Amino acid sequence: MANDCRNIEPLLAAYALDSLEGEERAQVDGHLPACPDCRARLAEYRAVADGLLMAVPGSAPPARLRQALVDRTGQSTDPKSAPAEMPARRFSHWSFAFGLGLAAMLLLNLVLLQQVIGLRQDQARLKQELGAGQIAQAIAAYPAAQSVLIEGKDAYGTLVYDPDRPVAAMYTWGLMPLPSGQSYQVWLRTTNGDRVSGGTFDSSGGKAFTLVVIRAPDPLEAYSGFGVTIEPAGGSPAPTGPNVLGGSF
């Protein structure tokens, strides 16, 4: 072998196995045309490589594989009429598994999103209740604080207020949750019989009582009484629905 062959021959096995890359592969490519010895050795290695294809124990494939080929080749009995490239790829098992995984993740995300939205709603409600509780406590702590009973057909409660202030805390029991599209609205009755809105609220579904902070345009001494009606969500300019609670200052 020539000197060149001493450098090339050790690379031929890897070359035959398609494992050689870059500069070394180029060296072999450049050397082979002029070297019959290395070409002969490479042919032997390639024969071994071809043999390695055969030297794998057989294994019976599942019957569905044959059926799949029957189906696919049945689309065209003449291979020449088939597209030059592979026909449209069958929806693979990997694709199916990937899609299934993706769908599961999406579903999980939706569930988690729903839980997050629910938790945020709970958080907002608790924050509102906490604020109302703090205001109610503050009102009750005023030296001039008074309370009146509230009565209705199915509900009752207590209203705590300071006549000098335009705010009151109303505790009610027995208010039923309203369907969506409706809300309770507080009305303050002026001495001349007009009704002024004191705000809207929803009952706390599932809880024994509802605490509502009423905010009036003027100190409560300007009013003679109050009531609660059922109105469209968001409230009405004047009472339109049934009166469910009421009381007098």
Partner 1 sequence: MSLPPKEDLARLAARIAEGDRGAFLALYDHTSSKVYGLALKMMRDPMAAEEVVQEAFIKLWTRAETFRPGKGSLLGWLLTITRHVALDHLRRSSRRPKLVEPPDAVTGWEPMLTDASSRTDEARWGSLYFAVQGLPDEQRAAITCAYYYGMSHSQISEFLDVPLGTVKTRLRLGMDKLRQVWLNAPEDHPGDPSESGDLGVKKDREV
List interacting residues with partner 1 (CB under 8 A).
10-11, 13-14, 16-21, 24, 44-45, 47-62, 64-66, 68-70, 72-74, 77-84, 86-87, 90, 92-94
Is 186 in contact with 196 (CB distance < 8 Å)?
A: no
Instruction: Output the smallest distance, CB 104 to partner 1, in A.
Output: 18
- CA quadruple 11, 15, 17, 18: dihedral sign: positive
Report, in Å, the least distance between residue 103 CB and partner 1: 19
Strands 182-190 and 167-173: unpaired
Query: Which CB atom, from 9 or from 129, has the smaller least distance to partner 1?
Result: 9
Within 13 Å, how many C-alpha atoms sit on residue 50's CB side?
6
d(CA 225, CA 17) in angstroms, rounded, equals 97
User: Residues 48-66, buried b or exposed e (16+ Cβ, 10 A)?
Assistant: eeeeeeeeeeeeeeeeeee
Is the distance from CB of 106 to CB of 99 less than 8 angstroms?
no
Q: Which is nearer to partner 1, 75 or 180 (CB)?
A: 75
- Return the number of the residue (42 or 213) whose C-beta is nearest partner 1: 42
Closer of 55 and 144 to partner 1 (Cβ) = 55
In angstroms, give the least distance from the CB of 109 to partner 1.
Answer: 25
Q: Provide, rounded to whole angstroms, the least separation between the CB of residue 57 and partner 1.
A: 4
By beta-carbon proximity to partner 1, the closer residue of 55 and 208 is 55
Q: How far is the CB of 63 from partner 1 (least distance, A)?
A: 10
The span from the first CA to the last CA of the chain, in angstroms, equals 119
In the complex, minimum distance from the CB of residue 18 to partner 1, in angstroms, rounded to a whole number: 7
Closer CB to partner 1, 89 or 181, in the complex: 89
Give the separation between CA 45 and CA 196, rounded to whole angstroms. 100
